[in-house]
Amino acid sequence: MFMSVVRRHAALMTTATILTPAFTMPVTTAPAARPARFAGGVHGLPRLLLRVEGGLILAAAMLAHARLGGSWGTFALLFLLPDLSMLAYLVGPRAGAAAYNAAHSHIAPALLVAAAYTLGAPFLLLGAAIWAAHIGFDRMLGYGLKYGTAFGDTHLGRVGSPRP
């Protein structure tokens, strides 16, 4: 019995494996293959809930804009303004992700709301509502915050065609 374990161990060692008490793990020098779905993304029901949440944020922000008496022309004009942050991808994926995430996080619209109340400038509330609506719209479509690897790698999963 003991000799069969030794022979098995020797055979495994010659096939370039490492034995630990709990399991056998092959040794590889090549990088691991990228999974079909981006490993950093959310999948299943949580992904659906995050997308529904984005739609609800869009609806709430549009309702706030309407209740504040905002112009729908101004809404349409400014709605895609946060997407100008994508121009930073011309510098590279890390710079692009940083700029995109700064423009597509709810932190900035929340700070704009605080500034509106601090400065007594209600028009800033309209800007915050438009900005939050844009973020909600993107989340509803599955465009999440970006990782610095590529534009399509988001916290909600991979967007667009798969990378090679």
Question: Taking the chain, what is the end-to-end CA distance rounded to the nearest angstrom?
Answer: 48
Say what the pLDDT of residue 157 is: 76
State how beta strands 24-26 and 153-154 pair.
unpaired
Q: How far is CA 65 from CA 27, 39, 61, in A?
A: 58, 37, 6
Split the chain (164 residues) into runs of 10 and give each run's mean pLDDT: 49 43 48 50 86 97 98 97 96 95 97 97 97 97 89 78 59
Give me 89's structure tokens: 């991808």
Say what the pLDDT of residue 164 is: 56
The pTM of this model reads 0.73
